[in-house]
A = this chain, B = another copy of it.
Amino acid sequence: MPVFSPASLTETTASIFAAAGMRVDEARVVAELLVEANLVGHDSHGVIRIPQYLGQVEAGDIVPDAAVEVVHEAPTLAVLDAHWGFGQVAMSRGVDMALEKARATGMAAISVRQANHVGRLGSYVERIAEETAVALMFVNGAPVCRMAPWGGREARHGTNPIAMAFPSRSGPPVVLDMTTSAVAEGKVRVQRNRGAEVPDGWLLDAEGQPTNDPNTLYADPPGTILPLGGSLGHKGYGLNVAVELLAGALAGAGCLAQDRRFRNGALLLVLDVEKLVGLDAYFAEADTYIDFVKSAATAPGVKAILMPGDSERAIAEKRKVEGIFIEDETWAQIVASAAKVGVEVSG
């Protein structure tokens, strides 16, 4: 299994995207975000996406050199149109604008439309928290439907993730990045490929009955993924609807009701800590609270209470030392698609 340092994997990835028609600096932005996803253990959002993205470029679905347009701007607002470029490029621009506006006014709302896949949300919000601001991010993704509404048995919802991040002075930022469906489709696929059952609370079959068989999601008619919440799934369903209305309707990116080309819509809210409450007041409360939570006695078999983001950080520390392993099959696909754009890479 090939193993890479984060720096060399970033270099290679950036050179592939540049060869595919991206500006060199923007290719680097996408490469850094993909490799960061690998680094923190979210391999599903890492360099495994290279062949998919290159296929989309080839098909004309991603415009690799599209310029991000600021459609509308006000002291606290900006509406960005990615013009079907890479989502990571538009979203990174949105983060920069949000931070600048929030620093000036206290808060900012940035929406991103006509964007391709923005990748792992946690990267964006964590970067904001490192600048002593709080970030809330909501993303939808037309037209992929896998989740049924609460009480339903036909898919009407995407995974509709939420990410939030909070600065801490005594430790790293708190970083939450979660789907509002019970799980993402990829996790069901992994279980199917392993020939394993899925846990309770993940799936319904096409009749709307709970099932542990991952194959039902790919049957005809297909089953559905449940909303987050188990027996209280009406809450996860409600959150999922809220994300769709925030990222699809309010951000102007479009909801998934209609048959459309793939896109991510995003709404990013940023609140400046200094302007809202003052840094010292915030950190006094936040750091004391984090210590208080971590001081809870653990349940059997649990070593320590973790804050959101801690497990990703632990994986990153390990991979910075050991390197990032890419599975042979994934690497072979990356090598093959890189060759198509004239880049020769080796493991």
Contact indicator B239/A176 (Cβ below 8 Å): yes
Contact indicator A289/B231 (Cβ below 8 Å): no
> How many angstroms from the CA of A239 to the CA of B235 in the assembled complex?
12
Q: Please tell me the number of chain A residues within 8 Å of chain B, measured between CB atoms.
A: 93
Contact indicator B289/A248 (Cβ below 8 Å): yes
**A24 at the binding interface (Cβ < 8 Å):** no
Which residue of chain B has the shortest Cβ distance to A157 in the bound complex?
Answer: B293
> How many angstroms from the CA of A74 to the CA of B257 in the assembled complex?
38
- Which A272-291 residues have a C-beta within 8 angstroms of B? 273, 275-278, 281-282, 285-286, 288-289, 291
Given contacts A249-B166, A255-B286, contact A209 B300 (CB under 8 A): yes
**A76 at the binding interface (Cβ < 8 Å):** yes
Contact indicator B77/A245 (Cβ below 8 Å): no
User: Hey, which bits of chain A sit against chain B, CB under 8 A?
Assistant: 74-77, 79, 105-107, 109, 111, 134, 136, 148-157, 162, 164, 166, 174, 176, 178-179, 182-183, 199-201, 204, 207-209, 228-232, 234-239, 241-242, 244-246, 248-252, 254-258, 269, 271, 273, 275-278, 281-282, 285-286, 288-289, 291-300, 302, 304-308
- Interchain Cβ contacts under 8 Å between A and B, 15 examples: A74-B105, A79-B277, A107-B107, A149-B293, A152-B296, A154-B297, A174-B241, A208-B297, A230-B230, A242-B308, A249-B277, A252-B276, A252-B278, A256-B289, A258-B288
